[in-house]
Structure 1
Amino acid sequence: MSAATAKRPKLTVEDASKFYDTPTGRTHALDRFSMDVQDGEFICVVGPSGCGKSTLLWSMAGLHALSSGRILLDGEPVTKPSPQIAMVFQEANMLPWRSLQKNIELPFEIRRQAPARDRIGRLLERVGLAGFEGKYPRELSGGMQQRASIVRALSVDPSLLLMDEPFGALDAFTRDEMNLLIEEIWLETKKTIVFITHSIPEAVFLADRVYVMSARPGRLSKVFDIDIPRPRPLEVQAAPHFVELVAEIKGSIEHKAPARPAAA
């Protein structure tokens, strides 16, 4: 393997731009956004509401075509969903008529593959859901459903895990638990993760680097390296350096001022 190949980023986003045509006109969602993610990195993306964070992530997953620019995974263009990419959405998206086990096995059914039951069993044990395989979504809390969605994503052994504000709907206590859990799983598996969040403390707690997007159309505004040692206990959020990083990132986020009403 050449040195150039060895240093190639796991994920590359080059000048990604996206326009949507809607009944009320054209919307410019992304504007020439670029980023490189190394193999095994945990990257968080933050920005004001409506700045195109989810559009960016869905494009990484091959679910949205870009208007211009390109996304590469291991040097290959991402133009459609790939077995190497898994995604955890804002909602757990559990099918109510299927048990937890059957919900987790759904990606294998779609791919017409035998489910990796040994891997699924280990993951269920790891996230504290062993023994709940026969339960239905209505019998599980929101946090348990999101744990199941993480197991479902990891069960196919992806090389890239995309997470679209997966803990935003959870209460603060459960969200803290889930942040600890996903950090522990990442430390164990070293999967490459791109994580979208509105919470700057969550981004600082989880990330190796935080990418800040501007208000729509989403452009790259700034990148912050998070130099806090791992593993990170929840108590680190009270440390002065952590608080300073959160304040600095918050101060870098631009919000468009609301339009003033025309003078009478």
Structure 2
Amino acid sequence: MSRAIWLVVIGIVSVQAGAAIAKDLFGTISPTSMVFLRLATSTLVLLAVARPSWRGRSRTDWLVVVGFGISLGLMNWSIYQSFARIPLGIAVTIEFIGPLTLAVLGSRKAKDLVWVGLAALGVVLLGFEPANLNAPGIAFALLAGAAWASYILLSARTGQRWPGFDGLAIASAVATLLVTGPAMVSGGTALLDPRVLLIGALVGVLSSVIPYSCELVALRTLSPSVFSVLMSLEPAAAALAAIVVLNELLTPLQWLAVACVVLASVGATRSRPVHTEPAPD
């Protein structure tokens, strides 16, 4: 059990370190182009590992996996747009409202309203110090949260219809295709820079390949409820990664807001475990 927990923690740290490194490169390359590099890297690895079978699939199978890919692409694109506008830790905190809402809606327990209130308090606290916040950044983070909730729902259906990593590999390919055109337009010649390509590949490994691998192994012995609680640490991990990599400091009130959302997520997931697939953000 302890080994599995450490694997999940490593995955969480890796995801947020990758996000911080990606943001640090936004002055050189656009967020959309960085999303493309990240998705392309993870897609190549997943396709090589999964080697999915493309034949013998029903129309519904393809509709589900394409929907899964759209939610994956939208989630990555919108959260990187948010990273470009507001602090990393705050963006992930706001994004986490998506899966938190899904967890609460899936429960019929009246006490879960407490977690809704706690999360709402966290959001309100963020509004007291809006100096480093802006409306577009918040809106993109909320969009990412909605896409994450959709990702969770569609990942469950994809897992039922596609074996192993097949569905995730194909969905990742769909997401990559969706952002390819905009990435080429916004990235321009920067996408030909070897340094940019190397860092983009590094972000793909940190934000997708390592977490997928760690979580795949961990979930063999870790209960979904414990896994969900551990994933609730994402906002705090994002804030810490931003401090180390970007020197992006939060105020005490903003840390309190992050803590409210983390505690609300822990409480909601302990009340009703939600099936959670590895989330690349």
TM score, norm. by length of structure 2: 0.26
Whose strand proportion is higher, 1 or 2? 1
Larger radius of gyration: 1
Whose helix proportion is higher, 1 or 2? 2
